[in-house]
Structure 1
Amino acid sequence: MSTVPQIKVPATYMRGGTSKGVFFRLQDLPASAQTPGAARDALLLRVIGSPDPYGKQIDGMGGATSSTSKTVILSASSKPDHDVDYLFGQVAIDKAFVDWSGNCGNLSAAVGSFAISSCLLDAKKLLDGKDNGVAVVRIWQVNISKTIIAHVPITNGQVQETGDFELDGVTFPAAEVQLEFLDPAADEEGSDAGGSMFPTGNVVDQLDVPGVGVFKATMINAGIPTIFINAEDLGYTGTELQEAINSDAAALAKFETIRAHGALRMGLIKHLDEAAKRQHTPKVAFVAKPKDYVSSSGKQVNANEIDLLVRALSMGKLHHAMMGTAAVSIGTAAAIPGTLVNLAAGGGVIKAVRFGHPSGTLRVGAEALQDPASGAWSVSKAIMSRSARVLMEGWVRVPADSF
Structure 2
Amino acid sequence: MTYLPQIRIPATYMRGGTSKGVFFRLEDLPENARMPGAARDALLLRVIGSPDPYGKHIDGMGGATSSTSKTVLVGKSSRPDHDVDYLFGQVSIDRPFVDWSGNCGNLSAAVGPFAISAGLVDASRIPGNGTAIVRIWQANIGKTIVAHVPIVDGNVQETGDFELDGVTFPAAEIQLEFMDPAADEEGAGGAMFPTGNLVDDLEVPGIGTLKATMINAGIPTIFVDAEAIGYRGTELQDAINGDAEALSRLETIRAHGALRMGLITQLDEIATRQHTPKVAFVAPPADYVASSGKAVQAADVDLLVRAVSMGKLHHAMMGTAAVAIGTAAAIPGTLVNLAAGGGKRDAVRFGHPSGTLRVGAEAMLRDGEWLVTKAIMSRSARVLMEGWVRVPDAHQDS
Under TM normalisation by the shorter chain, which class is it? over 0.9
Q: How far apart are residue 211 of structure 1 and its match?
A: 1.5
Amino acid at match of 1:382: A
Asked if 1:357 corresponds to 2:356, the answer is no
2:372 maps to what in 1? 379
2:175 maps to what in 1? 178
Q: Secondary structure of 2:175's match?
A: strand
Q: How far apart are residue 194 of structure 1 and its match?
A: 1.1
- Aligned mate of 2:158, from 154, 158, 161: 161
Q: Distance in 1 between matches of 2:385 and 2:132?
A: 23
5 Å-filtered alignment, 1:88-167, equals 88-122=88-122, 124-127=123-126, 130-167=127-164
1:221 maps to what in 2? 216
Q: Distance in 2 between matches of 1:78 and 1:59?
A: 36
**CA-to-aligned-CA distance 1:221-242 (integer Å, 9 cap, x gap):** 0000000000000100000000
**CA-to-aligned-CA distance 1:208-253 (integer Å, 9 cap, x gap):** 0111221000000000000000000010000000000000000001
Q: Distance in 2 between matches of 1:78 and 1:100?
A: 21
**CA-to-aligned-CA distance 1:7-51 (integer Å, 9 cap, x gap):** 000000000000000000000000000000000000000000000
Asked if 1:339 corresponds to 2:334, the answer is yes
Q: Secondary structure of 1:90's match?
A: strand
Q: Distance in 2 between matches of 1:211 and 1:304?
A: 36
Q: Distance in 1 between matches of 2:328 and 2:86?
A: 25
Q: Distance in 1 between matches of 2:88 and 2:52?
A: 21
Could you state the TM-score of these two structures normalised by the residue count of structure 2? Answer: 0.99
1:273 maps to what in 2? 268
5 Å-filtered alignment, 1:4-153, equals 4-122=4-122, 124-127=123-126, 130-153=127-150
- Aligned mate of 2:229, from 231, 234, 245: 234
Q: CA RMSD in A?
A: 0.6
5 Å-filtered alignment, 1:186-265, equals 186-189=183-186, 191=187, 193-265=188-260
**CA-to-aligned-CA distance 1:331-358 (integer Å, 9 cap, x gap):** 0000000000000000001110000000
Identity fraction in percent: 78
**CA-to-aligned-CA distance 1:55-77 (integer Å, 9 cap, x gap):** 11110000000000000000000
Q: Secondary structure of 1:259's match?
A: helix
Q: Secondary structure of 1:115's match?
A: helix
Q: Distance in 2 between matches of 1:18 and 1:397?
A: 25
Could you state the TM-score of these two structures normalised by the residue count of structure 1? Answer: 0.98
- Aligned mate of 2:362, from 364, 367, 373: 367
Asked if 1:393 corresponds to 2:386, the answer is yes
Q: Distance in 2 between matches of 1:46 and 1:340?
A: 41
Q: Distance in 2 between matches of 1:70 and 1:78?
A: 25
**Matched pairs, number:** 396
**CA-to-aligned-CA distance 1:113-171 (integer Å, 9 cap, x gap):** 0000011114x4114xx410100000000000000000000000000000000000000
Q: Distance in 2 between matches of 1:295 and 1:175?
A: 23
Amino acid at match of 1:203: L
Q: Distance in 2 between matches of 1:323 and 1:104?
A: 7
Q: Distance in 2 between matches of 1:241 and 1:381?
A: 30
Q: Distance in 1 between matches of 2:121 and 2:197?
A: 42
**CA-to-aligned-CA distance 1:83-114 (integer Å, 9 cap, x gap):** 00000000000000000000000000000000
Q: How far apart are residue 378 of structure 1 and its match?
A: 0.5
Q: Distance in 1 between matches of 2:120 and 2:196?
A: 41
Q: Distance in 2 between matches of 1:120 and 1:185?
A: 27
Q: Distance in 1 between matches of 2:219 and 2:378?
A: 17
Q: Distance in 2 between matches of 1:140 and 1:118?
A: 17
Q: Distance in 1 between matches of 2:368 and 2:181?
A: 18
Q: Distance in 1 between matches of 2:221 and 2:341?
A: 20
Q: Secondary structure of 1:147's match?
A: strand
Q: Secondary structure of 2:239's match?
A: helix
Q: Secondary structure of 1:103's match?
A: coil
Q: Distance in 2 between matches of 1:299 and 1:75?
A: 40
Q: Distance in 2 between matches of 1:120 and 1:333?
A: 34
Q: Distance in 2 between matches of 1:87 and 1:116?
A: 16
Q: How far apart are residue 2 of structure 1 and its match?
A: 2.0
Asked if 1:312 corresponds to 2:311, the answer is no
Q: Distance in 2 between matches of 1:51 and 1:213?
A: 35
